[in-house]
Amino acid sequence: MTGQGRFEIRIICHPADADRITATLAGAFTTGPVRQYPTRDRSRVRLYVTATERASAPVLRLLRPDH
């Protein structure tokens, strides 16, 4: 935990999904800048986002585009 109501979200995903995931997180939480780094094998990216809960946070549901 980074402070009261603040936390760090860490995600590993394919680069093509990064924008959709960060947009979904920004819709569900108040977020800071997204830090993005390649994984060791460079086939995916690591996303780090500091987020703060909103008063009534919506349910976050991520689905793959093919579902």
Specify if 61 maps to a domain.
no
Specify if 62 maps to a domain.
no
> What whole-number distance in Å separates Cα of residue 4 and Cα of residue 33?
19
Specify if 30 maps to a domain.
yes
Give me the pLDDT at residue 49, please: 96
Specify if 27 maps to a domain.
yes
Give me the pLDDT at residue 58, please: 59
Specify if 37 maps to a domain.
yes
Q: Do the beta carbons of residue 1 and residue 53 sit within 8 Å?
A: no
Question: Which has more pLDDT, 9 or 66?
Answer: 9
Residue 15: give the domain boundaries.
6-52
Whether pLDDT at 1 is above 50: no
Say what the pTM is: 0.72
- Least Cα distance to 28 among 67, 66, 62, 64 occurs for 62
For the stretch 17-50, pLDDT in tens is 999 999 999 998 999 999 999 999 999 999 999 9
Name 48's bridge partners. 10, 35
Whether pLDDT at 54 is above 90: no
Domain tally for the chain?
Answer: 1
